[in-house]
Amino acid sequence: MTMLKTAAAVACCLMVPALPALAQTPTAPAASFTVQQAVVDGPGHAPITVAIWAPTSGTKLPLVVMSHGTGGGPAGHIDTAQALARAGFVVAAPMHPGDNFQDDSSVGKPEWMANRARDLSNVIDYMLARWEGHARLSPKRIGVFGMSAGATAALVAIGGTPDLGRIAPHCSAQPEFVCKIMKAQEPATQQWVHDPRIAAAVLAAPGLGFTFVPSGLAKVHVPVQLWVGGEDQTVPYATNGALVKNQLGRSVDFHRVDGAVHLSFLAPCGPESPPVICQDKPGFDRTAFHQEFNRSVTAFFVRTLTP
């Protein structure tokens, strides 16, 4: 089953209107936060629905913009958003128009990834100027978190420029999941949106790594934490995460998670979660992994988004 077909099955656990209820998950005592929903103008395409987790107190707060994977939605990383909010971060998670569990109309098109990166900048614009709590944010403390296609979009947002012309020859030689999406595409020239306001990035299982040649990552200068799954067959490490890691150099905070498959980076499953998103390798404890994952992600942003 492909990720796009899986999307319909996961809708019940990724729907944005369900976020306030999901946010009541029991947690250790920490900063209290609210969960909100906003609609942001998306120049050139549909409006962007955004889930926002915001601490109830504090000023000069850091902001983390969170980008979900293909066919997903904001709640796919709800535990990470909660962990960041409890640590004093405002989290804004857009549901990317044309690439979510309700609508996959832009997936695989030449403008697909450029639009995703543009969404992130549009959300930052909104949060800093029009969100009701914008005066509590620090414009100098902005990070981005992304998983799968969301990690690729985040990489573009911090200065990466993919060469989409590499897709066809790569897929002829080494077909992988993304080749099912983009195999018939002739990449057009894109206007890639890089956002200098972003000061740090966490990338989990980034796709399209093979499209980033060294010159395409030469303008990435912010701290990066990179996560890959040791058993990820959807976004194979050798042709994706390894290339990103090697080209960004030793400064990357790198984590390879033994036993993790692609969907292991989604929030731990509950009793009502569709089984299709809960299929980890035997012996892999997603809940235990996410406790460490969330601690590490939070610590990274605390360290890199200093006041």
Question: pLDDT, tens digit, for every residue of 184-241?
Answer: 455 556 789 999 999 999 999 999 999 999 999 999 999 999 999 999 999 999 999 9
Among candidate residues 49, 25, 48, the one with its CA nearest the CA of residue 37: 49
Residue with tokens 């066919």: 71
The H or E element spanning position 95 is strand 90-95
The H or E element spanning position 157 is helix 149-157
The H or E element spanning position 52 is strand 48-55
Q: Which of 17-26, 70-79, 254-263 has the lowest mean pLDDT?
A: 17-26
Residue 132 to residues 121, 198, 255, Cα–Cα distance (Å): 18, 21, 36
Q: What is the mean pLDDT of residues 137-157?
A: 98
Residue 214 contacts by C-beta under 8 Å, 6 or more apart in sequence? Answer: 247
Residues of the chain with pLDDT > 90, as a percent, come to: 67
In the prediction, which pLDDT does 304 show? 98
Cα-only R_g, the chain: 18
Asked whether 107 and 99 are in contact (CB, 8 A), the reply is yes
Asked whether 144 and 202 are in contact (CB, 8 A), the reply is yes
Is beta strand 48-55 parallel, antiparallel or unpaired with respect to 90-95?
antiparallel
CATH tag, 3-304 = 3.40.50.1820
In the prediction, which pLDDT does 188 show? 53
Q: What is the mean pLDDT of the chain?
A: 87
SS3 77: helix
What's the token pair of residue 73? Answer: 């939605």
In the prediction, which pLDDT does 231 show? 96
Asked whether 31 and 88 are in contact (CB, 8 A), the reply is yes
